[in-house]
Structure 1
Amino acid sequence: MEKSVENAEKRSELLDTLQNQLNEATLDLHIYTKALPLFEDDPSTSDILHKHLLDTVAAPIADKLLYTLDMNNKLKHGVEIGENENWALLLSTVDRASLAKALPESLSVKAQSLVETLAGKRVESFMDALKALAEDSGMIVKNFDESLELSKLQAYHKDLTEQVSSETDYVAFLPKVVALLFLKVHNRAIQVPERALSAIITRLKDKLPDSAGKLLTDYHNATATLLALRAAATGAEDEDCLVDRILTKEELLQEMIPKLKALALEKSEN
């Protein structure tokens, strides 16, 4: 009897923790999806942005839910589990499928549907499957009000501003600048995967002065060249020549960084 009570307490604690995790993580996903409609006229970029969100934001949400439901099911049937649950885990596709199939039949079908959406191309499909599984598990996926969204955007703005101010890596710097400018121009948060960077810059250029748009494009082109030179330099016969070209390109980028910082941080203060 004591063990049963102890397991019941563990299950309650697990599910409470999961609900808090879901609240925070689904708010992040909700905020990022607000930028997606701006790219509906560009199917290729839209697909990239949807898939990136599924891989980077949606997958960890699914993993937390599946892992916790598995732990909850084990406790329900008297199976011992570890004291410390790994909330930062990232499951493989095989692991997700295995956990989904191992759940009670009432949950298993919906869990498997959730896993399938991660291999799809639409965040909306994931959210629908998430809500269905969460509700059947006694969880809720909240609808967020405007005040909470605004608070999250303000926190996102502050974080991006700090990142832009402190970033020293030539390549990592540009996506953060673009994300910050996008937030100020469109009042929407966006993740900036490398494959969509050019398209997002193009969308930004319509809202920025020509000089600012040219600066973004020139910096992007320079980083692309730098990456190509670095890749070519490994084991190349003319490595010394390539190293000189790399240094020259890095010097150019170093000269451009203060201008881009001024552009992004000036916009962030408006």
Structure 2
Amino acid sequence: MLKLAALQQLFQAELDQLNLGKTPAKLYDPMHYIMGLGGKRLRPILSLMGAGIYGSPSKAMPQAIAVELFHNFSLIHDDIMDDAPIRRGMTTVHNKWDNNVGILSGDGMLVKAYQYVAQCDASVLPEVLSTFSQTALEVCEGQQMDMDFESMDVVAADAYIKMIQFKTSVLLGCAMKVGALVGGATVTDANALYEFAMLLGTSFQIKDDYLDVYGDPEKFGKQVGGDIISNKKTLLWIEAEKRSRIEGVDFAALAKMTTEEKKVEAFQELYMALGVDVYAKEQVAHY
């Protein structure tokens, strides 16, 4: 199997020549814009890895493109819902153009993702499409759960884990599974790889939540403290709320703060005082 750096180069070379379309420009320009913003490319690499276990990683290149298209489509829509100004250190699609352009370009990317993921042998096509479609629905369910949590006073840790597994982990699992299927894996082996990537995704999301609080904006590529401002029930938030009850801290008063900068600073200090920052790192290692 090719090493990680080689797989990244292989995918980037394909991405550099990717042509999703030209006209109407306001439909396709945002697609190329967000696909060109960089990122970890973890999902497509997992697809190539899955295929590489059984043969040539390149066999799953269409599926690698598909999962990256889907991921970036979801980011466009997430940024609209969150009214996020920055993505990967650059202006978000809806801020560079407008909300309507962002919605429509995202929809187009979803369709393109299906066109790419379906480029495989007929013998595995039903399982590939079934996995991809179920994943797409679960990502939507996870996003809705995440939004629902914002208006709930208390969220259980296990509910949070289910949410991040749907919102984030399932796409990593799907990426590796469809790559493995296209590469020649049995369904049993492909499902085992799915579970592996699911755990990786869970760890990845908890780390992402940690960086939302303590990350460097230039390196993190997003607004630091965005989750705190919107009262998102991350694992850090949930654990801090629980520990605040024990320590007699008025957590609800902090959550109602309206000055964004002061609210972020207050929660950064609270998490450290309660040891929640250390707890989050432990959970990243656990998964």
Which bin holds the TM-score, normalised by the shorter protein?
0.3 to 0.5
State the structure with more CA Rg. Answer: 1
TM (normalized to structure 1)? 0.32
TM-score by length of structure 2 reads 0.31
